Structure 1
Amino acid sequence: MTAATRQLPATDGTADSTNSPWVWAGGVAELADLMKEPSFVRECVRRFEAAGRRTVGEAERRSWERSWPHLVDALVHAGLGRLRIYLEYTTPGSANRFDALLLGRTEQGIPALVVVELKQWTRFTVLSDTEVKLADGDEPTHPVVQVAGYTAFLQQWFEAGDTGVEVRGLAYLHNATTAQAQPLREHHNTGPLSGIPVLCRDDLAPDLDARETARLLLAADLAAPDDEQVRAFQSMRWTPSQTLLESVGDLLLSPHSSIKLIGDQQDALLSVRRLVAAAKQRGTRLVVAVTGGPGSGKTVIASRLMGHYLRNESALQPRYVSPSGTLVAQLREATSAIRGARDLFMLPGDVPAAALKGSRITILDEAQRLHRPTDGYGLVQQIVDRVPIVVMFLDERQIVCPNEGLTLQEVQELAARSGAAFKHHSLAGCFRTSSSADYMGWVTDLLYGTPTSWEDTDYDLRLSANPEDLQAWIDHHTAQGRRARTAAGFCWPWARDTSQLRPEVAIPWTDADGTEQLWEAPWNAFQEIRSASAPHRNFWATAPGGHRQIGCIYTAQGLEYAYSGVIIGPDLVRRDDAWLPRPQYSRDRAMRDVQPGDYLRLALNIYHVLLTRGIHATRLYSTDRETQSFLNSLFPQTSTGHESDS
């Protein structure tokens, strides 16, 4: 049994409603009666969607219909009908959603929570202590690890108070036999996760003794919670523990961390900290905007600020929000050793009002990429209105989708509207691309101004003659232990296949003999595909194997790698001394119905981002012959072609 003592406040509870973080709550016996009604699941779907989460798909609705009765029947058979149960309980940060959460009271009168993860699985292969492969090719997290994350959240995020609570958890494969469930048990029959049982249908058979059933469900010692305990649980604030905050802060600030500050990054960090300290002392509201181009250190500074406030000023309850799924995944991975830490780093969809309750400072990275509704600024407005101190990092030239577009001027207007002071700090440096001002200027002129010849100064830039040579260059540096990646415009379809890689990026080209060739490569994998050594798309730029897949704007933005290949697709070509946008060649669903005039700005920004990922060197190639010829004219002192030794 996994048990820990945290604290519950003694405050009044709240009634069930569509605004609650669950789709249904009440007694187990009451639920058993309600589930006999055909409309019960439909009403749960309505509540879930009315709470503003997302649409419930047909597969998920069926899983509710098929899984809930198995658990409820077992609970009733075990004599646990008076326990309180919460279905589809969503934690405030939305990184966790429990299939079922039981609330009871121990013999000592202490509230106890039991997390139940329901699985319909019968056919699967255990890949490791952390991953499982299903029959359909999907590779989800091992359910014991999943439950451990849930219990860690409950242990780490309860608000301090006067009454302790025990936390327990289990996984229930209600369709699986003992033989089918056994592989899951074998991987965690010893060690720190051995207290999280994996139950199957044979374990909770109807003819089993009721007391034994209750024991297997980790609830043999539990009675019904009293009304005060229910009110306390339902009205509690979810705030991270001091231990959690200090641990994550230490990790982000570790001298061994890959996050370093140089040049005006340190000046910006200290400037923001001074501004925040002054606002905190005066008790005033503050919005700080930090702007800078690619490689200027925005994300580095944001991460260091998060670490500082977690470790040294945790009373501010800092939160880190970014619309970049890749960036959030990387930060969660960096702090994955600390259970409960993932909820400190949030995507926009993870930020309902409750998630920011109690936070005194929110760090909003990649703010220009936030989706904005037609009637205002959406999430940005909510954050500025509800959080006293907001630090935003943005670059207007990294707006890459038509439904994005927060600008510095708009941030200033939002601050004024909410009564907050506004301060702006601009980052002038570039600490990527070998800190080459010449290269950054060349890229800016190429895309936004008058293109100039490359003089081969302090950065290694070449034009690849064909995609084969480009891939050979990437392979060469990878073989030398260097991180090398190729990214391309989103001009080829992406199947989001979870079982295999497909050669979707297909580029015809003509060799020196005039023979037509076809080069093919897969996009970055939708999910990790071990058989193909393909990492999950969020780790395409950092995990081994990514050099053999092609990244796109969504997996490259916010990251960097030592050697960068860039493929300009047919969506942006050079004609008559100007860039011509061709949105009809884009396969990005976000670009549907975008007019050429609007697409030009977005396409230029996309390639601006892709061309500024490489720390030491970049190789460029255009699939359009006329554009490739134009680019070649900008390299009078260098040659194109295969350069395996450079």
Structure 2
Amino acid sequence: MIIYSSTKQSFIRDFEEGCLVKKLHRTLTDKYRRVGQSEIQSWQTSLSYMANVMRDIAIPDKAGVAIEYIVPNTQKRIDFIITGQDHENKEHVIIVELKQWSEAFKVADKDNIVSTYLGGGLREVTHPSYQAWSYCSLIKTFNEDVQNRPIELHPCSFLHNFDEAIAPELRDSVYEDILSISPMFTLGQMNGLRQFIKDFIPKPDSTQIMNSIEHGKLKPSKALQDSILNMLKGNKEFVLIDDQKVEFERIKNAALHAIQNNEKAVYIVRGGPGTGKSVVAINLLVECIGSGLMAQYVTANAAPRNVYSAMLQKGYKKSEINALFASSGSFHPRPKDALQIAIVDEAHRLKEKSGMYQNEGEDQVKEIINASIFSVFFIDRNQRVTFKDAGTIDKIIKFATDQNALIYEGALESQFRCNGSDGYLAWLDNVLQIAETANYDGFEGDYDFKIFDNPNDMFTAIKEKNTPNNKARILAGYCWNWNKNGKNTNLVKDIQIPEHNFAISWNLGNSSTYAIDNSINEAGCVHTTQGLEFEYVGVIIGDDLRYENGELIVDISKRAKTDQSIKGIKKLFKEDPAKAQIIANEIVKNTYRTLMTRGQKGCYIYCTNKKLSDYFKLAFNHQLRYTYELPHTQIEAHPLVADTLSLDPDVLKSKPHKI
């Protein structure tokens, strides 16, 4: 999508007449989203510099100019593009990344990363020249017209306020490789940028190059097809097993039928935790891209996208892999059938509205179905964990029917997490009072479940489990504020349990890849771990869930003030307290269900509420009593258990919350 497209001559005239920024503002608002005052001021400043650059008489008047080009199927926006031809009539495109930075600093231990002041604090971001190069890479990789004509793309960055005499670090030797292919121009180097443009574009754009980029067919390049297939080979974490393979083949055939016949279709896949929804989804993504189809893996939550993207990129420096992973909030501006295949994981997390303030678009389910020819939704109705989660099977069917789409339904049932223990999941539903199940008195299978009275002991046990392969984590309910200050220093200990002299930080600003980072000394929450898995998890259950008078009590007021997952529920409590409490119960219980099912081999828990801990011990020790028939003396270790040994199991089944 192009927000502004013209010639050099018209661009300079629009700027001088004062209408350029107004045009940008109006078009971007109408087509895409709201524009803030800071962005308007940024245009005024940066585009004045570009107008001065383009005034060089040797740059053709009929060279093409495009501003704020939004790369298809991404939310990436290219600041400034110049198009034209060389003396041999070859087509060239120059991509300019504009920055108003006055200072920035080297980050030596990360590839092409710098730090600068943004949003009131020091932030790590990509080097501007790398950013420009990555945009070129996206266009080359996914635009068939650019690949076939061919059109040459040349990246560069222009930091017009950046004085290298004061801050020279962005030209450090660690950035040498990227600067050799994507040069950087700073304060006082306007002539250098002019010369860079003139070297490639001495003649006007007579072939409407930008139009080809805008309307070119989206198709992954042959190089990407080959690369991504190789990335998945030999990766045991993505091997399809049993009904995963069966469902994968069914979905793949339905997708191919829809694409070949240009017939809109929707596929709904039900599956509980550990049934392999994400494994099937990633295999579908790789299979589609490897077959030359344009597909994206879509989630509302960023953590699964970033983790799976990082896992596929291991051993590769291919920024285009990131373009295969999309936010569910990126679909509202996309036109009908812009994407061939949308693979939606964790569909229960889809929202109604998009954008930072949840005020853009209509409904993410509707928008995804509209923007893709074939869409597949992997969903678990019992994993709604925020007030805004709005993805339901009924809604998917409604919007699919509204768009006359074929509807397929399937299911993943075999349990491959929790040591394959369907019984543990059923017992967990029972003990959390989510649903009454046949597993009120225990579960079969060799699943390592333990209850700790001291969080330090649990932490020690989890660290031991993490030693072999970095696959154990501490997780917690969102009952402690996430403090921004000092977040990169490991000095801020967000989660404090003073009576045990225990303290741990939330993830240190690395929420996107917490699950695979070296983050054993940090705690994750449901937002950094849903859709992902570990071998062992230690879960801290906070004060938002307690046990009183034979009942589990959800207290949403004990959630942290920084928890965005319950935003809006206070208003509902005033309007309809009963409905609000039902939703609060669902969110909190589903949150702990989700956290307690992240472990493949084991789950350890610590409860801040002692009565809740006793309740879990009682329920778990009953499972030992009735499932494994341990000696009576082992059961009597806990006084609550000893008091209830005479209870008939049928009593527990009928009223699991009153033991």
TM-score (norm 2): 0.82
2:198 and 2:123 mapped to 1: Cα distance? 30
Give the AA of the match of 1:408: I
Among 538, 541, 548, the residue aligned to 1:565: 538
1:121 and 1:133 mapped to 2: Cα distance? 11
More divergent stretch after superposition (463-472 vs 229-238): 229-238
Matching of residues 408-557 of structure 1 within 5 Å: 408-447=393-432, 448-449=434-435, 452=440, 457-497=445-485, 499-501=488-490, 503=492, 505-508=494-497, 516-526=499-509, 536-544=510-518, 546-557=519-530
After superposition, give the CA deviation of every residue in 1:334-390 in whole Å (9 maximum; x if it has no partner): 344334232222112322454764533322221111102599972322333453322
Among 530, 538, 550, the residue aligned to 1:577: 550
1:182 Cα offset (Å):
4.5
Q: SS at 2:237's partner residue?
A: coil
More divergent stretch after superposition (553-562 vs 591-600): 591-600
1:592 aligns with 2:567: yes
Structure 1 pair 476–155 and aligned structure 2 pair: CA distance change class (3 A): same
Among 140, 154, 161, the residue aligned to 1:155: 140
2:57 and 2:312 mapped to 1: Cα distance? 39
1:69 aligns with 2:69: no
Same amino acid, percent of matched pairs: 23
Give the AA of the match of 2:152: E
Whether the aligned pair in 2 keeps the contact of 1:317 and 1:358 (CA below 8 Å) is no
Find the counterpart in structure 1 of residue 654 from structure 2: none
Give the AA of the match of 1:368: H
Structure 1 pair 278–481 and aligned structure 2 pair: CA distance change class (3 A): closer
1:297 Cα offset (Å):
0.3
1:91 Cα offset (Å):
1.0
1:132 aligns with 2:132: no
2:484 and 2:203 mapped to 1: Cα distance? 47
2:257 and 2:210 mapped to 1: Cα distance? 38
1:68 Cα offset (Å):
2.1
Structure 1 pair 251–68 and aligned structure 2 pair: CA distance change class (3 A): farther
Matching of residues 167-316 of structure 1 within 5 Å: 167-180=153-166, 182-187=168-173, 191=177, 194-204=180-190, 214-217=194-197, 219=199, 221-226=201-206, 228-229=207-208, 232-233=211-212, 235-251=214-230, 253-256=232-235, 258-277=237-256, 279=258, 284-312=263-291, 314=292, 316=293
Whether the aligned pair in 1 keeps the contact of 2:129 and 2:178 (CA below 8 Å) is no
Give the AA of the match of 2:516: T
Find the counterpart in structure 1 of residue 627 from structure 2: none
1:610 and 1:566 mapped to 2: Cα distance? 7
Among 296, 318, 327, the residue aligned to 1:338: 318
1:36 Cα offset (Å):
4.6
Structure 2, gaps ≥5 residues long: 354-358, 570-579, 622-633, 639-659
2:96 and 2:611 mapped to 1: Cα distance? 60
Whether the aligned pair in 2 keeps the contact of 1:553 and 1:609 (CA below 8 Å) is yes
Q: SS at 2:47's partner residue?
A: helix
Give the AA of the match of 1:126: K
More divergent stretch after superposition (355-364 vs 516-525): 355-364
Whether the aligned pair in 2 keeps the contact of 1:524 and 1:551 (CA below 8 Å) is yes
Q: SS at 1:626's partner residue?
A: helix
After superposition, give the CA deviation of every residue in 1:257-293 in whole Å (9 maximum; x if it has no partner): 6311123211211222344455566664432111110
Structure 1 pair 574–49 and aligned structure 2 pair: CA distance change class (3 A): farther
1:495 and 1:81 mapped to 2: Cα distance? 53
Give the AA of the match of 1:613: R
Whether the aligned pair in 1 keeps the contact of 2:335 and 2:371 (CA below 8 Å) is no
1:231 and 1:43 mapped to 2: Cα distance? 19
Q: SS at 1:562's partner residue?
A: strand
1:478 Cα offset (Å):
3.0
Whether the aligned pair in 2 keeps the contact of 1:320 and 1:346 (CA below 8 Å) is yes
TM-score (norm 1): 0.84
Whether the aligned pair in 2 keeps the contact of 1:21 and 1:92 (CA below 8 Å) is no
Structure 1 pair 247–437 and aligned structure 2 pair: CA distance change class (3 A): same
1:90 aligns with 2:67: no
After superposition, give the CA deviation of every residue in 1:32-90 in whole Å (9 maximum; x if it has no partner): 3443566653553343233233x434443333332222222122146436232222221
CA RMSD of superposed structures (Å): 3.0
Among 346, 352, 356, the residue aligned to 1:372: 352
Whether the aligned pair in 2 keeps the contact of 1:122 and 1:180 (CA below 8 Å) is no
Find the counterpart in structure 2 of residue 614 from structure 1: 599
Q: SS at 1:108's partner residue?
A: coil
Q: SS at 2:84's partner residue?
A: strand
Structure 1 pair 42–396 and aligned structure 2 pair: CA distance change class (3 A): same
Among 142, 156, 164, the residue aligned to 2:150: 164
Whether the aligned pair in 2 keeps the contact of 1:489 and 1:552 (CA below 8 Å) is yes
Q: What is the count of residue pairs matched by the alignment?
A: 594
1:477 Cα offset (Å):
2.6
Whether the aligned pair in 1 keeps the contact of 2:2 and 2:67 (CA below 8 Å) is no
Structure 1 pair 413–561 and aligned structure 2 pair: CA distance change class (3 A): same
Q: SS at 1:262's partner residue?
A: coil
After superposition, give the CA deviation of every residue in 1:289-341 in whole Å (9 maximum; x if it has no partner): 111100100010011112112213x2x43232221211111233234433423
Q: SS at 1:175's partner residue?
A: coil
Find the counterpart in structure 1 of residue 586 from structure 2: 601
Runs of 4+ in 1 over 6 A off after TM superposition: 374-377
2:260 and 2:93 mapped to 1: Cα distance? 39
Structure 1, gaps ≥5 residues long: 1-19, 510-515, 527-535, 641-646
1:597 and 1:72 mapped to 2: Cα distance? 58
2:140 and 2:470 mapped to 1: Cα distance? 40
Give the AA of the match of 1:269: F
Structure 1 pair 474–78 and aligned structure 2 pair: CA distance change class (3 A): farther
2:417 and 2:527 mapped to 1: Cα distance? 19
Give the AA of the match of 1:484: A
Give the AA of the match of 1:114: I
Structure with the bigger percentage of helix:
2
After superposition, give the CA deviation of every residue in 1:179-223 in whole Å (9 maximum; x if it has no partner): 45643334367547612111112322xxx5xxx653234645433
Find the counterpart in structure 2 of residue 532 from structure 1: none
Whether the aligned pair in 1 keeps the contact of 2:328 and 2:368 (CA below 8 Å) is no
Whether the aligned pair in 2 keeps the contact of 1:325 and 1:347 (CA below 8 Å) is yes
Structure 1 pair 49–353 and aligned structure 2 pair: CA distance change class (3 A): closer
1:558 Cα offset (Å):
0.6
2:129 and 2:261 mapped to 1: Cα distance? 47
More divergent stretch after superposition (41-50 vs 421-430): 41-50
Greater relative CO (CA pairs within 8 A, separation 6+): 1
Whether the aligned pair in 1 keeps the contact of 2:143 and 2:216 (CA below 8 Å) is yes
More divergent stretch after superposition (576-585 vs 348-357): 348-357
1:192 and 1:375 mapped to 2: Cα distance? 36
Among 81, 101, 117, the residue aligned to 1:121: 101
Give the AA of the match of 1:140: V
After superposition, give the CA deviation of every residue in 1:447-503 in whole Å (9 maximum; x if it has no partner): 214584557851111012122222222222334444211111111222345654563
2:478 and 2:590 mapped to 1: Cα distance? 13
1:195 and 1:506 mapped to 2: Cα distance? 46
